[in-house]
Amino acid sequence: MNYSAVLGAVALSLAAGTATAGERSLTVYTYDSFVSEWGPGPAIEEAFEARCGGCDLRFVALDGGVDILQRLRLEGQDSGADLVLGLDMNLMAEARGLDLLAPHGADTSALDLPIEWDDETFLPYDWGHFAFVYDTEQIAEPPASLAELLEAPEDLKVILQDPRTSVTGQGLLLWIKHVYGDDAPEAWARLNERVLTVTNGWSQAYFSLFMNGEAPMVLSYATSPAYHMAVEESDRYQAAEFAEGHYLQVETAAMLRSSDEPELARDFLAFMLTPDFQRHIPLGNVMNPAIDLGAELPTVFERLIDPESLTFTPEAVHANRRAWIREWLNAAAR
């Protein structure tokens, strides 16, 4: 049997018809919910194309930030992308290690983040804290700290996500590690008694379970209630503010050295920190904008919690993630 001949034929037939028109085009690898009809993608594409004068901005949607990194790693020097959008801080060290990215060269003075930012490769476009969202119809007084959550009555069930397969799950892993350090295994063991289940992804946890009323609390983002308040006009779901602080997620974009359109890519990165891009973030991506939007910020965002930010450096996360996951597995699998 000649496999390669078959595959060759398939490859050839797939190769036909890739040619595109001669206008300047910019390909951006990002994640699925960014480009959807309800995400910020379509409006941002329109705004950028109106601005650059006859260019074509093309989003290629992958499953998530980890998949963007994976795609870069597999494609290497001849990546089809000019830019990547959607790598969070925890993926930065690995992405930098690939040696494929170029400095952004953008003016970062407009940035308005909870932490200082001086990275020359990765440019933030939004941020948010991980948080436990609770159902006010099931609990009136949520725990006020991680410590209180660990001491809560055991019938206060929470829904978590697996750090091996989800970004929010990994967020909680880092959060617990940051707060409890070497005592993290004991903290996990105590939290475990209150865990209803650990899903593979955020969608399962939030929609299949939490929205069905299965548990009063779910691991999500501090910005999640903004959507319910603004679009559904419901105050039912709120985020619990914890005294120890909340782990921070910053989402970033970066340009590739191999890009054929470095000028245009830099234009896009600069455009990212303007109101024309940022005004689509709060309700489109349900995250906090990376610049001060002033009066354009939806009012519900003022009603969100504003906790202290906890972070590890990207390098520390990269170096320790495997060990910390193993630690969690041992503590949680019992």
Partner 1 sequence: MPRWKRLSPWPPGLGFAALALVAGLGLGSLGALLWQAREVHPAMLWQEPWLAAILRFTLWQATLSTLLSVGLAVPVALALARRPAFPGRGLLLRAMELSLVLPTLIGLFGLVAVHGRRGWASPLWEWLFGLEAGYLYGLSGIVLAHVFYNLPLSARLMLQALETAPAAQWRLAAQLGLSRVAIWRTLEWPRLASLLPRLAALVFTLCFTSFAIVMTLGGGPQSSTLEVAIYQSLKFDHDLALAALLALTQLTICLGLWLLALSRGGAPSLMVGSVRLPALGRWRRRDASGASRWVDAIWLLALVALLVPPLSAIVIAGLGGLPELPQASSLWPAAARSLVMALGAGLGALALALALLAGSRWLQRSGHAVLGLAMEGGGQLILVVPALVLGTGLFLLLRPALGSGWEGYALVVLVNALMALPFAMQVLRGALPGLTVPELRLADQLGVRGSARLRWLTWPRLRRPLALALAYAMTLSLGDFSVIALFGSPSAPTLPMLLYQQLGGYRWQGAAATALLLLAGVALVFAVLGGLTRRPPRPRWRP
37 binds partner 1 (CB under 8 A): yes
Q: CB-hemisphere CA count at 13 Å for 254?
A: 27
- If one asks whether residue 22 binds partner 1 (CB under 8 A), the answer comes out as no
Please identify, using beta-carbon distances, which residue of 7 and 144 lies nearer to partner 1: 7
* Residues of span 57-96 touching partner 1 by CB under 8 A: 58-63, 66-67, 70-71, 73-75, 80
- Does position 50 bind partner 1 by CB under 8 A? no
Q: Is the Cβ–Cβ distance between 116 and 98 less than 8 Å? A: no
Q: For tokens 């996500």, what's the residue?
A: 161
Residue 39 binds partner 1, judged by CB under 8 A: yes
53-66 in b/e burial notation, b at 16+ Cβ within 10 A?
eebebebebbebbb
By CB under 8 A, the residues from 287 to 316 that bind partner 1 are none
Looking at beta carbons only, is 37 or 107 nearer to partner 1? 37
- What character string, x for contact with partner 1 (CB under 8 A) and - otherwise, covers 115-154? ----------------------------------------
Question: Of the ranges 105-113, 115-123, 193-201, 250-258, which one interacts with partner 1 (CB under 8 A)?
Answer: 193-201
Cβ 39 to partner 1 shortest distance, Å: 6
Asked if 15 interacts with partner 1 (CB under 8 A), we say yes
3-state secondary structure of 195: strand
To the nearest whole angstrom, how small is the minimum distance from the Cβ of residue 150 to partner 1? Answer: 16
State which residue, 51 or 71, has the beta carbon closest to partner 1: 71
Rounded distance between C-alpha atoms, residue 289 and residue 287, angstroms: 6
Between 106 and 254, CB nearer to partner 1: 254
Closer of 108 and 204 to partner 1 (Cβ): 204
| Least separation in angstroms between CB 75 and partner 1 | 7
Spatial CB neighbours of 311, under 8 Å, sequence gap ≥ 6: 89, 115, 178, 247, 248
The CB density around residue 316, as the number of other CB atoms within 10 Å, is 14
**198 touching partner 1, by CB under 8 A:** yes
User: Which residues, in sequence order, are CB contacts of 6 under 8 Å at separation 6+?
Assistant: none
Find the shortest distance in angstroms from Cβ 241 to partner 1. 21
Burial class (CB in 10 A: 0-12, 13-18, 19+), 229: buried
Q: What share of the chain is helix, strand, coil (3-state, %, to 5)?
A: 45, 20, 35
Q: For the window 204-243, what string marks contact with partner 1 as x by the rule CB under 8 A?
A: xxxxxx-xxxxx--------x--xx--x------------
Amino acid identity, position 117: W
Distance (Å, rounded) from C-alpha 98 to C-alpha 195? 37
- DSSP 8-state secondary structure symbol assigned to residue 40: S
* 191 lines the binding site for partner 1 (CB under 8 A): no
Confirm or reject binding of residue 21 to partner 1 (CB under 8 A).
no
The answer to whether residue 329 forms part of the interface with partner 1 (CB under 8 A) is yes
Is 11 an interacting residue with respect to partner 1 (CB under 8 A)?
yes
Angle between helical axes of 41-52 and 262-272 (0-180°, round to 10): 120
